[in-house]
Chains A and B, each alone.
Chain A
């Protein structure tokens, strides 16, 4: 089955991102496809490479980046949500004249159309949120 995932909450405060990640891993291990994970609202903060959790805690961003590298899952951060929350890639840095980049490897910034498209193309769209 082809899955798409929507993550609506940021890392550590809510379990949503953890549950979404664990679902994605379990689905892929079971032979399913996870085509895209779309991060919306505070969920875009999952893509920040500036996070440094304590060593004995899970590293939520690195886990997602590794999943993208290993399984080719498309990790998409909503552009409007990113702009409000200071999530910046090269394109956004240049467009909005910022002096830093913090979008981690494996993540890309794009529009809400990517969420709708995922809903149309996937067999199931699952929401993880509050």
Chain B
């Protein structure tokens, strides 16, 4: 019913844009679910974290105190799913007093002025 391997042989460039903080709404968690399911389709996948979305990658989240699931651990496993292109907008980090060392995983920083160019290179844009 789901998760079937896609046999079409078409490879497109997918980018998942994460704009929201991890636990206030369900979007971040369900975006990650989409990325993990999508990995079975052998597409060229990137993720971009902008605005409050950068908080999704913050180290030392303890959402268990909110009875929320700590799905941030799954970001570390993305490499095993061949999802290796993680982009973070530099200004979004700076505006929130964060830097790369606050993040769970290695990322590629991209300047705000270059984000449109990155999106323009994609075939499918999914924004959560």
For B127, list chain A residues within 8 Å (CB): 127, 129
For A116, list chain B residues within 8 Å (CB): 6, 14, 34, 37-38, 41, 43
Starting from the known contacts A8-B27, A79-B1, A127-B127, 13 additional A-B residue pairs (CB-CB under 8 Å) come to A6-B126, A8-B128, A41-B27, A80-B30, A80-B33, A81-B30, A111-B37, A114-B2, A117-B8, A119-B124, A120-B10, A120-B43, A129-B127
User: Looking at the complex, which one of A79, A114, A119 makes contact with B126 (CB distance below 8 Å)?
Assistant: A119
Q: Is the CB of B10 within 8 A of A110?
A: no
Complex alpha-carbon distance, A79 and B10, angstroms: 25
Q: Is the CB of A40 within 8 A of B40?
A: no
Q: Which residues on A are within 8 Å of B, measured CB to CB?
A: 6, 8, 40-41, 79-81, 110-117, 119-121, 125, 127, 129
Given A6-B126, A119-B14, also A112-B26 (CB < 8 A): no
Q: Is the CB of A111 within 8 A of B126?
A: no
Q: How many of B's residues come within 8 Å of A, CB to CB?
A: 25
Residue from A114, A116, A121 having most chain B Cβ neighbours under 10 A: A116
Q: Is the CB of B41 within 8 A of A120?
A: yes
Q: Which residues on B are within 8 Å of A, measured CB to CB?
A: 1-4, 6, 8, 10, 12, 14, 26-27, 30, 33-34, 37-38, 40-41, 43, 123-128
Q: Is the CB of A127 within 8 A of B126?
A: yes
Q: Is the CB of A121 within 8 A of B8?
A: yes
In angstroms, how far is the closest chain B Cβ from the Cβ of A88?
15
